Amino acid sequence: MKNPATTDNPKDLPTEWREALALFDRSLKAHGMAEKTRRAYGVDLGEFAAWAAAAGANPEAVRYRLLRQYAARLSGTPREGGRSLSRPTVARKLASIRSFYRYMVERGERADNPADLVPSPPRPKSLPKALRADQVGELLDRIPTQTPLETRDRALFELAYSCGLRCEEIVNLDLDALDFDAEELRVLGKGSKTRIVPFGEQAQGALERYLSTARQSLGRGQASPEGEPALFLSKTGRRLSASDVRRRLQVWLRKAGLAAGISPHVLRHSFATHLLEGGADLRTIQELLGHASLSTTQLYTRVESGRLRRQYAKSHPRA
DSSP H/E element including 36? helix 35-54
Q: Which of 29, 68, 265, 274 is catalytic?
A: 265
Q: Which of 190, 235, 238, 246 is catalytic?
A: 190
Q: Is 269 a catalytic residue?
A: no
Q: Which of 154, 291, 307, 309 is catalytic?
A: 291
Cα distances (Å, whole numbers) of residue 234 to 63, 112, 164, 242: 50, 49, 22, 11
Contacts within 8 Å (CB) and 24+ apart, 254-263: 255/142, 255/143, 256/135, 256/138, 256/139, 256/142, 257/138, 258/131, 258/135, 258/138, 258/139, 262/129, 262/131, 263/167
Q: Which of 38, 152, 166, 248 is catalytic?
A: 166
* Residues paired with residue 196 on neighbouring β-strands, in sequence order: 186
Q: Is 268 a catalytic residue?
A: yes
* Residues paired with residue 198 on neighbouring β-strands, in sequence order: 184
Give the number of other CB atoms < 10 A from CB of residue 78.
9
Q: Is 265 a catalytic residue?
A: yes
Q: Which of 101, 161, 210, 300 is catalytic?
A: 300
Q: Is 300 a catalytic residue?
A: yes
Length of the chain: 319
Q: Is 190 a catalytic residue?
A: yes
Report the catalytic residues: 166, 190, 265, 268, 291, 300
